[in-house]
Structure 1
Amino acid sequence: MRIEAYTQVQQLYNTKKASKTQAAAKKGLSDQLQISSIGKDIQTAKAAVAGSSDIREDVIAPIKAKLQNGTYEVSNESFADKLFAKYEEMR
């Protein structure tokens, strides 16, 4: 077995790796990232949602007032219809 031949081959591989690294550094290449138009739309939507409130005060305020006055009424039929509709959506 010739150890010398292995060493010479190994030196060639090491030299190639180093020269490629140096060549890339000389070119000044950098990584680039491009976001698709759908991705940009998603970012815009996320920003809009983050800026808005989770609670719609314009809907809740009248209901709160009716609850405090004791005038809030829920129709049993309306409640049951909405409950069944939600159940059907989930199935």
Structure 2
Amino acid sequence: MRVEAYNSVAQIYKTNRAAGASAAAKTEKSRDQVEISSIGYDYQIAKQAVAEASDIREDKVAALSAKVKSGTYDVSNEAFAEKLLEKYRSFML
């Protein structure tokens, strides 16, 4: 049996293990990073603003309810169409 050959192979394994351990140590030190795009950041800001805003504007609801009950609530077709197109255009841009 050739003892020298065994020692050479054992030495190679020791060297590879040491290199593997140092590579593993380097890998453990690095951390993952997450970057949010500007669109994602804007989305988070908008979502937070919506969450903090009141769902119902009670003063406006009360005023419109009073107009409906009294029969004075009137919306022109042109004004409605104009607002609808305005919202659509702002959404598409």
Q: TM-score, with normalisation over the residues of structure 1?
A: 0.48
Q: TM-score, with normalisation over the residues of structure 2?
A: 0.48
